[in-house]
Chains A and B, each alone.
Chain A
Amino acid sequence: MNFLFLMKKYYLKSLLLLFTLILIVSCSDKDDNYIAVSPVTVDLTQVPYQKLSDYHFFEGAMKNQNPSLNVIPYEPASSLFSDYASKKRFIWMPNGVKATYVSDNKILEFPIGTVIIKTFYYSTIQPDNQTKIIETRIMMRKSDRWYFYEYVWNEEQTDAALQEGPDFENGSSKNFSFKKPNNEIINIDYRIPSESECYACHKINEVRTPIGIKPQNINTNYAYEGGYKNQLQKLFEQGYLESYPSSILSTVDYHDTSKPLDLRARSYLDINCAHCHQDMARCDYRSLRFGFNETANPTNLGICISADEVLSPSLQKLINPGNSSKSILHYRISSTDESQRMPLLGRTVVHDEGVSLIEQWIDSMTFTCN
C-alpha cells in the first residue's frame, strides 16, 4: 500500500483527533472563562410546577436532596418540633437580587423570586428503619406576597407531586410507624398541612411570612460542601445577602448542653412558640411573648403570671417557678389533647426531649412569686 494513500485516508480522522485533544486540554484549564450554570428553573408566571423535579433544585437522584448550584442549604440553631420529622432546608434566589437585614429577630427582607424549600423525612420508619421523605414545602416570594406550595413524595421516592384543589384545601395525612430517639416505636397519622394551616402560623399582621430565616437563628456555622462557614457569611458570599452586623443577639441549639439552660430553653420557645406568641401574631391578645429577644424579661415568659385560662386549681400560673408540674406552659407542651396542647398546630405527639428541657428549666428557677 502506498504510504501517501494511507496518510490521506486517515488524515481527516487524525486531524479531528488532534483537534479534540487540543480542545480537551484547553477546556480543562481552570483559568478558562467557562461559567457553570445553575439548572434551577423558577418562572414566576408558570409556578407552581406539577412536580418538584420541574424546578431542578436538586441534582442526581431526587431523594438524595443534593442541592443544585445556587441552592444553599441552611439550618436554624434550634428547630421546630414536627412529630420527630427530620428536615432539610434550602434557599434559592434569582440572579442579581439580594435580601437585606432588618433586625436580629426579624425575617430578612427577601426579594421577589426568593424560594425557601423545606423537606420533611424520617430515617427510622418501621420496619427496618427505612428512610422515607414525606413532603417538601415551598414558600415563594412573588410580587404581591409569599405563596405556599405543598409537594407530597411518591412511595418510590423519585419525585413529589403538587397538592392542588381540595387536596391542598384539606391537607392530608400519612400513617406510619417510626422509632423515636428513645427507641420507642410509635404509630402516627403524620399531618400534611392545608394552605389554611400553613397560613395559620406563617403570618404576621395577617400577612404571609417565613418564620425561621432570621439572623438570630442562622448565626452559626454550617458544614457546606466546601467546608464550615457561618451561614450569614455564606449567604453574603453567595450574593444572597446585602450585609449583616457583626454582633447579633442569637439563639442557640437547645440540644447543646454546653450552653446555659436558660438560653437553650428560650431558644426552644422562640422557634416552637413565638410565631403565634408575639405582637401582631395569631395570639397577640394574650400577654405571652416568646420571641428570643423578648424573653430576657420574665413577665413575657409568664413567670408568676396567672393565665387568662386557668386550667384547674393546680394549674393557674403560666410558669410556676421551681414547680413545672404546676406550670400551665409545661402542662400544655406535655398534652396531646387538641384543645389544650401547645403548639396548637404542627405536632400530634409529645416532644419528650423538649418537655424535659422545659421541665429542667422551670424546676431550676429560683424566682419567688409575691
Chain B
Amino acid sequence: MKTYFTCILVFAFTIVWGQNNCSNAVTILLNSTTTAPSFSGETGTTAPTLLCGLSGGNGLKGKWYKFSATQNLNVTISTQLPQNNDVDTRVIVYTGTCAALVCVNSNDDYNGANTSQVSFQAINGVTYYIAFDNRYSQLGFDFSLTESVPLGPDRLSFTSQVVPTITGGYNNCIVDMNGDFKDDIVSVISRTSLAISYQQNDGTFTSNTYTVPDTFVLPSWSIAAGDYDNNGYNDLMYGSGSGIVFLKNNSTGTGFTTDRKTQSYLTQRTNFVDINNDGKLDAFACDDNAPNRYYINDGVNLNHIQGGIGDFVTGGNYASNWFDFDNDGDVDVYIAKCGQGGAGVGGNIDEFFKNNSNGTFTNIAIDANMANPEQTWSGAVGDYNNDGWMDVTVGVNSNSNGVTNVKKNNGDGTFTSVTSGSGYDTITNIGREYVAQDFDNDGYLDILGSGKNIMFGDGNFHFTPNPNSYNISDYDRPIGDLNNDGFLDIQNGSTILINNGNTNKWLNVNLQGIQSNRNGIGARIEIYGAWGKQIRDVQSGTGFQNMSTINAHFGIGQATTIEKVVIKWPSGIIDTLNNVNANQNLLVVEGTTLSIDNFTSSFFSVYPNPAKDIITIQLNNSESVIESAIIYDLTGKIITTANEINMPISVEKLSNGTYILLIKDITGNKYAQKFIKE
C-alpha cells in the first residue's frame, strides 16, 4: 500500500515538473489525450517566446510537450474538448531543436471559441515541440493529439526556415540590394537603422545593419525599391501616414543617404516607375485623402507633383499598378479604390489611366469597363490566359460592394468580367494584398490574394486553392526567389517559406537598362516556346503594401527550352534572344542584341555604317513617317536628338565607337539599330 502510494506520487511529480521547459518536454503519443495541469503554483517554467504569429505578448509560464512522427501524416492538436469549458488556451508547434526552434504553426482562438486547434503535416522521423502558455488563463486543460485526415495532398508545399538576421519590425521587402540580382531581405528597424540580409550562394544569408540619417517616417503603410540614380544599387521608398522618404543606396551599395520629402499625407501604395519615360526612374505615391502624388526625377532631384493621375478630391486611392494594358509600349496605371460606396459617390470607383505617351494620362475606366465599384485595396495584374494581354483581378477587402472580380483584357481597350466559374465567385474571404506570380512553375499565373493560400491558375481563368492553407501572414508577405532555385518563396516575419518546388522548369529574367532606367521597370518581356507565349511587365510595388522581387519570373512546365525571349524596353529598343536554356537567371543588358548590320531592320536602314561624317536614315516602308530620332551612346547618354529626319544627321563630332540610333514614327512606334562611328 505504502509503496503503491509512493509510486503514484512520483508519477504525479513527473507530470507536474516534467513539461515546464523545452528541454524536459514530455513525450506525447499519437492519438492520445493529455491533461495539462493548472499553471497556478508552478515554478521554474519557461514560457515560449517565439510566438509564430500569435499576438498579445508572452505568457509568464509555459508547458512543453514533444511528438515524434514515425510516418508522414497529418496531425491535429486540440483543446476544443467539452471538458475544457472553453478555457482560453494558446498553442505553438515547432520543429528544430530547443536551442533553435523553427515555427510550424500556432493557434489561439479556433473557430470563434477561446480554445485552440492547430494542424500540421508531420514528417516521418521529425520531432515536433508543442508549447502552451498562460497568457490568457491559468487554468489547466486537456488536449488531444490525433491523426487527422488531411484536406488533400498539397499541390505545392513550403518549408519554413528562420532567418535570424531579420531583426526589424517592418518585414515586407524582398529585392536585390547589392547588385547581384539575387533577392535579399530588407528589415526596417527604426528611423535610423535597417538590416539587410544578403542571399549567399549556399542558401544562407549574411547581414549588415545600416545606420542611416533620420528618415522621420517609417514604412508603416508601404515600401518600394528601385534604382532611381541608376548606379546599380536599388534605393528604397517608405510610405507612411505622414508622406514619404527616399533612402538612396550609395555607389558601392554600402550605405544610404536620406531624402525626406516635406509633403505630409496618408500614403498607401508606393511604386518606382518611369512616368515620363525619360530613362530616369520616378516615384508614385497613392494618397488616401486627396489626389495622388508623384515625384519626377530630373537627374538630381525628385520633384513633387500632385494631380493628373487620380484626382478624386477625397482620395480613396489604395494601390497603383503600373503595366502596359494596350501593348503600345508605355505603362498605364490601374488605381484600386476603396471608400464610401452606397450612394455611389465615387470614392470606391476604380480608375484606369491610359498613358497618352506625352506626359499626360487619361482616366478611361468607364470605356474600358474598369470603373469597378468593388471595395479593393489592390488588384493582381498578369496575363492569366497567356493571350498576350494583361488582365486584372480586382481583389476586395470588403464584400459590401461585391466579391473579387476577375477581369479579362479583351485586347481592344476593354475588359470583361470572367469571375463566374473562376473560383473567386464562391469564396468570401477578403484581403489587402493581391499579386500574380507563377508559384508552381506550370506556366500559368497564380494569385496570392485573400486568405492564407494561393489560388493556382489553369491558364483559363479558373483558380483553385491548395487543399491546406499556408502559414503566411495576411498582410506582410513579400515574394522573391530566396534560395535561387527558380521557385518563388514567401516571407512571414523572421521566417521564410521556401518553396519545395516540383519538376517544372523556369526562367528568371534580370534586366540592366542603359538607355532605359537601370531596373528596366516598364519593360515588357515575352517568352515563346511550346506553351505559346507568356508576358511579364517589370514592376516595382505590386499588391498593397509589400515590395516583391523586381526580377521577372516565368514557369514553363515541362518544356526544356525557350525558343525566343524578347525584351521591349521603355526606350523603344528591342532585344531578342533565341534558343535560351531553361532553369537559369538570364541577364539582359539593354541594346546588346542590337545588330550593326544595316540590313537587319525591316523598317529602316542607316547608311553609311560605319560612318565618318553623316548618317542618313532610309525608310524601307514608304508609308511610314519618321517623327524623331535619338542617338545614344552605349552608356545610355543621349548624344543627339534630331527632329529633322529628312536631312542627314551629322556624326562628325562623335567619338569613335558604337552608338544606338533610336527612331520614332508618327504613330509612336520605335525602332533601334546600332551603328559605328569611325
**How many Å from the CB of A338 to the closest CB on chain B?**
4
User: Which residues from chain A contact B266 at a C-beta distance below 8 Å?
Assistant: 197, 200, 344-345
Q: Are A313 and B53 in contact (CB under 8 A)?
A: yes
Contact, CB under 8 Å: B265 / A170? yes
| In contact, A338 and B55 (Cβ under 8 angstroms) | no
Chain B residues whose C-beta falls within 8 Å of the C-beta of A2 in the assembled complex = none
Q: How distant is A273 from chain B, measured CB to nearest CB, in Å? A: 16
Bitwise interface map of B from 376 to 414 toward A, beta carbon under 8 Å scored 1, else 0: 000000000000000000000110110000000000000
Q: How many A-B residue pairs have CB under 8 A?
A: 117
Chain B 280-320 against A: per-residue CB contact (8 Å), 1 yes, 0 no?
Answer: 00000001111000000000000000100000011100000
Q: Do residues A206 and B340 form an inter-chain contact, with CB atoms below 8 A?
A: yes
CB contacts (< 8 Å) of A286 on chain B: these are: 398, 400
Q: Does B338 contact A (CB under 8 A)?
A: yes
Please report the C-alpha to C-alpha distance between residue A280 and residue B344 in the assembled complex, in whole angstroms.
10
Closest partner residue, chain B, to A316 (CB atom)? B109
A314 and B108 contacting across the interface, CB-CB below 8 Å: yes
Which residues of A sit under 8 angstroms from B263, Cβ to Cβ?
Answer: 169-170
**Contacting residue for B56 out of A197, A281, A282, A325, CB 8 A:** A325
B342 within 8 A of A: yes
* Distance in angstroms between the alpha carbons of A325 and B343 in the assembled complex: 36
Contact B265 A308 (CB under 8 A): no
Confirm or deny: A3 has a beta carbon within 8 angstroms of a beta carbon on chain B: no
B107 in contact (CB, < 8 A): yes
The reply to whether B220 and A337 contact each other, CB–CB distance below 8 Å, is yes
Chain A residues in 8 Å Cβ range of B483: none
Do A323 and B315 form a contact, CB below 8 Å, given A282-B339, A313-B54? no
Tell me which residues across on chain A come within 8 A of B375, comparing CB atoms: 285
- In the bound assembly, the distance between CA atoms of A136 and B300 in angstroms comes to 39
Q: Are A311 and B342 in contact (CB under 8 A)?
A: no
CB contact under 8 A between A369 and B400, given known A308-B430, A338-B221, A338-B240: no
Tell whether A242 is near chain B: CB-to-CB under 8 Å. no
A171 at the interface (CB under 8 A from B): yes
**Nearest CB to that of B88 among chain A residues?**
A323
Please determine whether A196 and B340 come into contact, CB atoms closer than 8 angstroms. Answer: no
For window 336-360 of chain A, which residues contact chain B by CB distance below 8 Å?
A: 337-339, 344-345
For A370, the closest partner residue in chain B by CB is B112
How many angstroms from the CA of A197 to the CA of B290 in the assembled complex?
A: 9
B345 at the interface (CB under 8 A from A): yes
Interchain CB contact under 8 A, A282 and B109: no
Q: Does B262 interact with chain A (Cβ within 8 Å)?
A: yes
Q: How far is the CB of B449 from chain A (nearest CB, A)?
A: 14
The total of chain B residues at the interface (CB under 8 A) is 51
**B340 close to A171 (CB less than 8 A):** no
**Known A-B contacts A194-B264, A314-B108, A369-B112; A203 and B56 likewise in contact (beta carbons under 8 Å):** no
Interface 1/0s, chain B 542-580, versus A by CB < 8 A? 000100000000000000000000000000000000000
Q: Do B341 and A199 have beta carbons less than 8 Å apart? A: no
Q: Kindly state whether residue B459 has any CB partner on chain A within 8 Å.
A: no
Q: Given B109, B340, B348, which contacts A280 in the complex, CB threshold below 8 Å?
A: B340
The answer to whether A285 and B56 have CB atoms under 8 Å apart is: no
Q: Is there contact, CB below 8 Å, between A313 and B265? A: no
User: Residues of B contacting A281 with CB < 8 Å?
Assistant: 340
Asked if A284 and B341 make an inter-chain contact with CB atoms under 8 angstroms apart, the answer reads yes
The residues of A that contact B262 with a CB separation of less than 8 Å are: 170
Question: What's the nearest-Cβ distance from chain A to residue B91, in Å?
Answer: 10
**From A196, A206, A314, contact of B55 by CB (8 A):** A314
- The 8 Å CB contact of A285, one of B88, B242, B264, B400, is B400
Contact of B241 with A by CB under 8 A: yes
A196 touches B315 (CB 8 A): yes
Over the window 154-187 of chain A, the binary record of Cβ atoms lying under 8 Å from chain B Cβ atoms (1 yes, 0 no) is 0000000000000001111100000000000000
CB distance from B465 to the nearest CB of A (A): 18
Q: Are B108 and A338 in contact (CB under 8 A)?
A: no
Bound together, the chains give a CA A349 to CA B375 distance in angstroms of 30
Contact A205 B345 (CB under 8 A): yes
Q: Are A197 and B342 in contact (CB under 8 A)?
A: no
Q: Which residues of A contact B287 (CB under 8 A)?
A: 196
The verdict on A315 contacting chain B, using a C-beta distance below 8 Å, is yes
Residue A68 at the B interface, CB < 8 A?
A: no
The reply on B326 being an interface residue by CB < 8 A is no
Contact of A196 among B106, B265, B401 (CB under 8 A): B265
- Alpha-carbon separation in the docked complex, A313 to B55 (Å): 8
- Please report the C-alpha to C-alpha distance between residue A281 and residue B347 in the assembled complex, in whole angstroms: 11
Residues of A within 8 A of B256 (CB): none
A194 to B262, CA, bound (A): 13
Partner of B264, one of A171, A323, A337: A171
Question: A314-B109, A339-B220 in contact; A200/B398 too (CB < 8 A)?
Answer: no
Query: How far, in angstroms, from A170 to B338 measured CA to CA in the complex?
Result: 23
Q: A206-B345, A338-B240, A345-B266 are in contact. Are A309 and B397 (CB under 8 A)?
A: yes
Interface contact B314-A196, CB-CB below 8 Å: yes
Nearest A residue (CB) for B263: A170
A302-349 at interface with B (beta carbon < 8 Å): 306, 308-317, 323, 325-326, 331, 337-339, 344-345
Please tell me if the beta carbons of B112 and A205 are within 8 angstroms of each other in the complex: no
Smallest Cβ distance from A190 to chain B, in angstroms? Answer: 13
Distance in angstroms between the alpha carbons of A169 and B265 in the assembled complex = 9
Give min CB distance, B237 to chain A, whole Å: 16
Expressed in whole angstroms, the minimum distance between the Cβ of B311 and any Cβ of chain A is 12
Chain A CB within 8 A of B158 CB: no
Asked if A294 is an interface residue, CB under 8 A from chain B, the answer is: no
B528 on the A face (CB < 8 A): no
> Is A83 in the interface zone, CB < 8 Å from B?
no
Partner of B265, one of A194, A205, A206, A283: A194
Which of B264, B313, B342 touches A284 (beta carbons < 8 Å)? Answer: B342
* Per-residue B-contact encoding for A14-36, CB less than 8 Å = 1, 0 else: 00000000000000000000000
- Complex CA distance for A56 and B306, rounded to whole angstroms: 36
* Given known contacts A313-B54, A314-B108, A206 and B314 CB-to-CB distance under 8 angstroms: yes
B398/A312 in contact, CB under 8 A: no
The distance in angstroms between the C-alpha atoms of A95 and B88, with both chains bound, is: 63
Query: Chain B 335-360 against A: per-residue CB contact (8 Å), 1 yes, 0 no?
Result: 00011111101111000000000000
Point out the residues of chain B lying under 8 angstroms from A169, CB to CB.
263, 306
> What residues of B have a CB within 8 angstroms of the CB of A191 in the complex?
242
Within 8 Å CB of B526, what residues of A? none
Instruction: Decide if A279 is an interface residue (CB 8 Å cutoff).
Output: yes
Does B136 sit at the interface, judged by CB under 8 A?
yes
- Which one of B109, B289, B347 lies within 8 Å of A206 (CB-CB)? B347
**Structural contact, B339 and A313, CB atoms closer than 8 A:** no
Taking CB as reference atom, which chain A residue is nearest B106? Answer: A313
Q: Which of B85-111 contact A (CB under 8 A)?
A: 88, 90, 106-110
Q: Report Cα–Cα, A173/B260, bound state, in Å.
A: 15
Assess whether B398 is in contact with A206, with CB atoms less than 8 Å apart.
no
B474 in the interface (beta carbon within 8 A): yes
Rounded to whole angstroms, the CA-CA distance of A344 and B220 in the bound complex is 13
Q: Which residues of A contact B107 (CB under 8 A)?
A: 313
B106: chain A residues within 8 A (beta carbon): 313
Q: Are A206 and B474 in contact (CB under 8 A)?
A: no
A206 to B55, CA, bound (A): 36
Interface residues of B in 259-280 (CB under 8 A from A): 262-266
**Complex Cα gap A283–B375 (Å):** 11
Say how far B289's CB is from chain A's closest CB, in angstroms.
4
Binary per-residue interface labels of chain B (111-125) against chain A in the complex, 1 for a CB within 8 Å, 0 otherwise: 010100000000000
Q: A323 contacts B398, CB within 8 Å?
A: no
Query: By the criterion CB–CB under 8 Å, are B338 and A285 in contact?
Result: yes
Give Cα distance in the complex from A302 to B221, angstroms: 25
7 A-B interface contacts by CB (under 8 A): A194-B290, A196-B315, A205-B343, A206-B345, A314-B90, A338-B220, A345-B241
Given contacts A200-B288, A312-B53, 20 further A-B contacts (CB under 8 A): A169-B306, A170-B263, A196-B287, A205-B345, A280-B342, A280-B343, A282-B339, A283-B340, A284-B342, A286-B398, A309-B432, A309-B474, A312-B54, A313-B53, A313-B54, A313-B110, A314-B109, A315-B55, A326-B136, A345-B241
Question: Which A residues are within 8 Å of any B CB, using their own CB?
Answer: 169-173, 191, 194, 196-197, 199-200, 203, 205-206, 279-286, 306, 308-317, 323, 325-326, 331, 337-339, 344-345, 369
